[in-house]
Amino acid sequence: MPNIGFRLRELRLGRGLTLEQVAADTGLSVSFLSMLERDKVSVSVDNLEKLARYYQVHMVHFFRTPQEDNVLITRRADILQRLAENGASPASVTLLTNRPNARMEPLLVNVAPGKEEPHFRQHEADTLVYILEGRARLVAETGEEVELAAGDLAYYVNLPHRRFVNASPSERLVLVIVTAPPTSSLDELLKARQGAWKMGEEA
């Protein structure tokens, strides 16, 4: 997988860490990390996620070309196009902008009428939500629910973990989530190389 070694080395040096420190903190060997940074060895999804969490970046960071602009803009036309492309899926997520070493992730979530996100968001971070269209139920693992309508804003720490349910049988739910990386479930993250992925339905 191209760029992974370069990006890992960039992240480590940017934080002033040695290979020995990263190895001690992650449980990976120094020799493996060294070879990985030189693209001499492949990495499993599990270990890549471990490193993403350690460096506090989204896994998509390893697969996209970094942008050099100081201000990253996602135009309305691009957002509408992404909504149209993912409109047929029960639930989809688009990473609106991606910057190396980002401290925040802006995610565009689109949930079809009567559907819901298939997974609770398995990260424990501050989360800001703004409902663009439709009506939502924010459901916690503990069973607690909060009703949200278009124009509502919610801020919470994602513990217990939460997910969104489209409360309307006829209108789609569109919301923006701003949170700390990484987000979502491991099996979906590798689909995010283009910045967007569809979430499967629950069995």
Sketch the domain layout of the chain as residue ranges: 4-55, 76-199
**pLDDT of residue 1 exceeding 50:** no
For 15-47, write each residue's pLDDT tens digit.
888 999 999 999 999 999 998 988 888 888 888
**Which one has a higher pLDDT value, 104 or 169?**
169
* Strand intervals (E) in 27-152: 91-95, 105-111, 126-133, 135-140, 145-149
pLDDT class for 77, splitting at 50, 70, 90?
confident
**What pLDDT, on a 0 to 100 scale, did the predictor assign at position 189?**
44
**Pairing mode of beta strands 196-199, 145-149:** unpaired
Tens of pLDDT, residue by residue over 115-173, are 998 888 877 889 999 999 999 999 999 999 999 999 999 999 988 999 999 999 999 99
Average per-residue pLDDT in the chain? 81
What contacts 60, CB < 8 A, 6 or more positions away? 95, 98, 189, 192, 193, 195
Rounded to whole angstroms, what are the CA distances from 195 to 46, 66, 145, 172?
Answer: 20, 12, 29, 21
* Residue 101 pLDDT: 61
Give pLDDT, residue 64.
63
Fold category of 4-55 in CATH? 434 Repressor (Amino-terminal Domain) (1.10.260)
Q: Report whether the peptide linkage leading into residue 160 is cis, meaning its omega lies within 30 degrees of zero.
A: yes
What CA–CA distance (Å, rounded) separates 49 from 46? 5
Please tell me the total number of residues recorded for the chain in this structure: 203
Q: Is the separation of the CB atoms in 198 and 177 below 8 Å? A: no
Query: According to the model, what pLDDT value does residue 187 have?
Result: 41
pLDDT at 83: 81
Quote the CA–CA distance of 196 and 93 in Å, as a whole number.
Answer: 6
Cβ(55)–Cβ(13) below 8 Å:
no
Mean pLDDT of 50-68: 75
Per-residue pLDDT at 202: 40
- Residues 171-191: what's their mean pLDDT? 69
- Name the DSSP class of 136: E
Q: Which neighbouring-strand residues pair with 152?
A: none
Domain 76-199 falls under CATH 3.40.50.1860: no
HSE, side-chain direction, 13 A CA sphere, residue 19 = 12
